[in-house]
Structure 1
Amino acid sequence: MKKILIISLLSLMLATNANADTDGENSLSKKPEDVKDCFEKINRATFKFNMALDDVIFEPVSKAYRTLPSPIRMGTSNVLDNISNLVTIPNNILQGQFKKAGENTARLVVNSTIGLLGLFDVAEHMGLTEYEKEDYGQSLGAIGIAEGCYLVIPVLGPSTARDTIGSFANMLGGDPWYNITAKKDTHHFSEVDYWGSRGFQGVNFRAKNIDSLENLEKNSMDFYASIRSLYLQDRQRKISNSNKTTETQNDSDWEEVETQ
């Protein structure tokens, strides 16, 4: 039943994606403002819900998390980055980035063993410093599949039809971490480990950006539109493997908005 639901949602998303970009324009040539916000009323309502949830849960938890010693926060971030390699490596391969796939595989092996499951980034001290997250949404974009409609997902936040389809790939076997935790639910790992790591990713993201997002909100006439533009710019930059810095973000991730 779960697989049937996922396949049905994928079909719906693919149909939406195709209908939203019938002009055949390459998605990498588009500007963020060209991406259609087909469900803007629903998206804005979901955005308000997410903001309310953030005020009640994520921001208070993130502020408490920021009071922890820096080594603990750095170690947590390292572990999350190490886990994300499990999705980055297959997408390096899908995009023909074989050198990066080899480097990231070496990083995963070194940090998972010598680095104690990624707690310490030993690989960086061994010269394996190049690392950029890749996902199935980026791989779809790299082969020319357009964004489709802009979406705001409850709790998860900004996305597009294409990126949402890419996210489903994790549940269809594309994420080894999901497979050995939520899907297999063995005596070593369980579903709690997967969703716990996803929760920590959200807290880690929010803790890094409390001040910057507050500044962005204060200086934006339309905070919803600013977040939409920021997300779409960053996704386009990552798909094209550009080192260009957008006006409202730094080079590391759309999650880390410039505070200056």
Structure 2
Amino acid sequence: MTDFTGLVAIITGAASGIGAATAAELLSRGATVAILDRDVSGATPDALAIACDIADPAAVKVTVARVAEELGGIDIVINNAGIGASGTVVDNDDAEWARVLDVNITGMARVVREALPHLARSHSAAIVNMSSAVAYVGVRNRALYSASKAAVVGLTLGMAADHVRDGIRVNAVAPGTAETPWIGRLLQESDDPDAAAEALRQRQPIGRLVSPVEVARALAYLASPLSGSTTGEILRVDGGMSSLRL
């Protein structure tokens, strides 16, 4: 497919995991890609990779301006960057709540705010945010993370309404538990990694974790100009986790 030919996409958190798979997907379909990540050492050499912490407003401002200047504009923003959090409300103090929400929700707003003037000049403008199945279903020991990802749903719908008349589509993907570096670290920190991995697989009706490529293709679907009538949509790629009970 060549549906992204001539389009410039910013993908945050794209040096590994789902973000890296998304960068590869868009590149294979003709996009010019800019990767924004705190550590870009693992980023594909086929993209413009820039070290940027989305929790730093000044860095975001400079970096987005650089992408637009070097690549000739911005057509697509995929807000993939995020951090995890474990525990109940008792386990995370105010500082941790502020840190996670700053990255997982305010960070998205920062990137979009700087990109909006460029998106407004595009004929194929699209924003896709990363939510999670835990925005829809309660999971133990994920209170803070779930709250941040539920906020992404609200942000997505609000931005979709704000910018639809400007020709900017805004959607989100809500994956189930995926094979990401963060999940790998959680498993290794558990008392019985094999048992913990099996529990995660069984939590999803399809009986396995979601692959990064599957999420990347969903993100690409929503970002593609072929989906020009799709906005305000939250696409669940969760193996039935949030909707099926077997």
Structure ID, larger Rg: 1
Question: Which one has more relative contact order, counting CA pairs under 8 Å at least 6 apart?
Answer: 1
TM-score in terms of structure 1 length: 0.25
Structure number with the higher strand fraction is 2
